[in-house]
Structure 1
Amino acid sequence: MDATFPRARKNQLGYNTAEVEDFLQLARRAYDGRVRADDRELNSERIRLTAFSMQKGGYSTAHVDAALERLEDAFAARERQVAARLHGDEVWLSEARTTAQVVSNRLARPEGQRFDRTSILSLGYNVREVDRFADKLTRYFRDGWPIGIDDVRAVVFTAQRGGYRESQVDLVLDAVVDVMLAVR
């Protein structure tokens, strides 16, 4: 039997194959409009937030993550088409502009103060690294500076005691991805 994705080596961790296969079946049904009564709702945001358990010899995380990004793009494009049909392109773009303004306001805060900090005993994202990336995003929103959606999806920050609260940074990055998908 052929695997959907390449597998990690037997002694290395990859994504749980059964979970990935189940998710792909759900996504296929959702995209084709053949949802079952017991299927959970699936949209581009849920795809972005999807996580799988790890198992030795599971599916290659890089290959599955790349497929999830393509799937998210496809769902986002369809969501935009549906919204444009129902409400018009201007409403869709207006929502994207509003989100972009909220993100821009957050990123305009002074360095070191853009997000809540963890306690000195807890780990958060490295403040300097996040601020550097936030400056790139500010240039993207303000000046049209080129930055790709994959750059936002793939950004990784090292840990730091007393760093930025990860959940807040992640929410802003998710909002940036939403805006980028909306204006494609």
Structure 2
Amino acid sequence: MTVTVDEKTRTNSRFKLVGPKEIGYNVKQVDVFLERARAYFLSTDTHGNAITSLDVRTASFDPARGGYSAQAVDAAMDRIEDEFVLREKELLIGAEGEKAWMMKIGKTASVLRARLHRPDGDRFRRPSKKSAQSYNINDVDVLCRELLVYIEDNGELSVDIVRRAVFAPEKGSDGYEESQVDAFLDRVVELMASIDPLPAK
């Protein structure tokens, strides 16, 4: 369902708004999520309604006519995710030591590397239903080869490239299963965000 942003919201918005007839993100949903994330991040209480970097990465908002610019919100969500990843790293090191963090990173990298080493065309499942949406195999494999260079040879690859990756659509077994590829790339983003330092402010 697409809603329309009222004029009061348009004068008190925290992000750039698209035109009144254009489609953006639902303002209320974005504001509510960001307030929750901010309250949790600034709290010393890590119990209760916890929000994780995964919650930030997978958050979605309904379309709204005249809503927040998707590009502006997505960029902010990326920065917030990076901050949450850094905090999670610091909490783990504080509780269990740096060795525990290194072991976690090593385990994640090992799992990812195993799939990346699979041959082109065999890295992910194919949908069983002929009508199911899937991702173009070559597009996904190209990114996977770049990721393997990044992980094993310290290749140059920005986490934002993975976040913004777009693959041509396919149908059924002509492509890779979308959900499996998406879940894998979530793990990749988690790894990259925890390894690469945040840019200087």
CA distance in 2, matches of 1:122, 1:20: 30
The size of the alignment, in residue pairs, is: 182
Q: CA deviation at 1:2?
A: 2.8
Change (3 A) 1:20 1:34: farther
| Alignment match, 2:158 | 148
Confirm or deny that 1:80 pairs with 2:89. yes
Within-5 A mapping of 1:18-29 = 18-29=28-39
| Alignment match, 2:179 | 167
Q: CA deviation at 1:121?
A: 2.9
Identify the range of structure 1 (161-170 vs 39-48) with the bigger mean alpha-carbon deviation.
39-48
Opposite residue 20 of structure 1, the aligned amino acid is: V
Structure 1, unpaired ranges of 5+: none
Aligned with 1:132 (options 119, 134, 142): 142
| Alignment match, 1:61 | 70
Q: Is the 8 A contact 1:126 1:157 kept in 2?
A: yes
Aligned with 2:14 (options 4, 28, 32): 4
Opposite residue 160 of structure 1, the aligned amino acid is: E
Aligned with 2:132 (options 88, 109, 122): 122
Opposite residue 95 of structure 2, the aligned amino acid is: L
Aligned with 2:79 (options 70, 76, 80): 70
TM-score between the two structures when normalised by the length of structure 1: 0.94
Look up the SS of the partner of 2:24 in the other structure. strand
CA distance in 1, matches of 2:191, 2:148: 13
Opposite residue 45 of structure 1, the aligned amino acid is: L
CA distance in 2, matches of 1:52, 1:40: 19
Opposite residue 138 of structure 1, the aligned amino acid is: L
Confirm or deny that 1:111 pairs with 2:120. yes
CA distance in 2, matches of 1:22, 1:76: 21
Q: CA deviation at 1:34?
A: 7.0
| Alignment match, 2:100 | 91
TM-score between the two structures when normalised by the length of structure 2: 0.86
Q: CA deviation at 1:9?
A: 1.1
**Structure 1: 4+ residue segments shifted above 4 A:** none
Structure 2, unpaired ranges of 5+: 1-10, 197-201
CA distance in 2, matches of 1:134, 1:155: 11
Q: CA deviation at 1:87?
A: 0.7
Change (3 A) 1:154 1:74: same
CA distance in 1, matches of 2:105, 2:189: 10
Identical amino acids, percent of aligned pairs: 35
